């Protein structure tokens, strides 16, 4: 694969948000004892959009931003960012049902770190994972999403970028041959 490719465009993203919101509504009903948590930095953009949709079912659904920088197990390998983002978790997760939201599930290390971070905020009664894109290959820990926008198969160097209108000016999911190509 040498070309960049559109995985989802604006309309599809809208439909995916709609589908996942309804699916969550079906499972969680009135979202009692439930919190929505986005993983910093880019998971929170998706979580924000999902949260807007879910407010019609649960006007008081708490929304948190979890920064997992200091919980990573690969901070010495030099591949991941060391710079933290703000942590905004204004509630305890003790006894709560946590819906964890991120944009792309790839190796699973981020989610693994997020689960460790959640442990230090209390003992959730249940944790579910919602991602926009699931990359099927190269998982390094046994993690699968409960809700997902789209599933793709891509080789190792390929890079998936999820963009959001509010932060990047456009709603789209793109596949690039490598990370550098995504910056253009």
Partner 1 sequence: MTDTTPSTRLSTKHLLGIRDLTKADIELIFSTADGFSSMLQGRIRKVPTLRDTTVANIFFENSTRTRISFELAEKRLSADIVNFSASSSSVKKGETLLDTVQNILAMKVDMVVMRHPAPGAHQFLAQHIPANIINAGDGTHEHPTQALLDAFSMRQRFEKLAGKRVVIIGDILHSRVALSNIFCLQKLGAKVAVCGPPSLIPFHLPKLGVKVFDQLDDALAWADIANVLRIQLERQDIKFFPSLREYHNLYGLTRERLAKHDKDILIMHPGPINRGVEISSAVADDPEQSVILQQVENGVAVRMAVLYLLGASNPE
List interacting residues with partner 1 (CB under 8 A).
Answer: 41, 67, 69-72, 75-78, 81-90, 92, 116-117, 120-122, 167, 183
Distance CA 65, CA 174 (A): 24
Give the nearest distance from C-beta 164 to partner 1 in angstroms: 11
Give the nearest distance from C-beta 167 to partner 1 in angstroms: 8
Give the nearest distance from C-beta 81 to partner 1 in angstroms: 5
Lookup result for tokens 């971070």: 117
Closer residue to partner 1, CB minimum distance, 31 or 45 = 45
Closer residue to partner 1, CB minimum distance, 28 or 159 = 159
Distance CA 47, CA 9 (A): 18
Lookup result for tokens 């190796």: 107
- Among residues 120, 128, 21, 5, the alpha carbon closest in space to that of 66 is found at 120
Closer residue to partner 1, CB minimum distance, 81 or 157 = 81
66: tokens are: 């979890």
């Amino acid at each position: 694969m040498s070309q960049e490719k559109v995985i989802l465009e604006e309309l599809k993203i809208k439909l995916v948000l709609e589908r996942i919101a309804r699916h969550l509504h079906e499972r969680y009903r009135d979202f009692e004892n439930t919190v929505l948590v986005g993983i910093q930095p880019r998971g929170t953009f998706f979580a924000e959009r999902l949260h807007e949709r879910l407010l019609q079912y649960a006007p008081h659904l708490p929304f948190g931003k979890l920064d997992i920088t200091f919980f990573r197990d690969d901070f010495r390998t030099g591949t991941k960012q060391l710079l933290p983002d703000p942590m905004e978790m204004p509630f305890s997760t003790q006894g709560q049902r946590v819906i964890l939201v991120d944009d792309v599930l790839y190796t699973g290390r981020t989610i693994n770190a997020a689960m460790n971070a959640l442990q230090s905020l209390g003992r959730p009664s249940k944790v579910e994972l919602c991602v926009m894109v699931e990359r099927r290959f190269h998982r390094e820990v046994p993690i699968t999403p409960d809700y997902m926008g789209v599933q793709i198969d891509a080789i190792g160097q390929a890079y998936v970028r999820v963009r959001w209108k509010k932060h990047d000016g456009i709603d789209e999911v793109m596949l690039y041959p490598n990370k550098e190509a995504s910056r253009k």
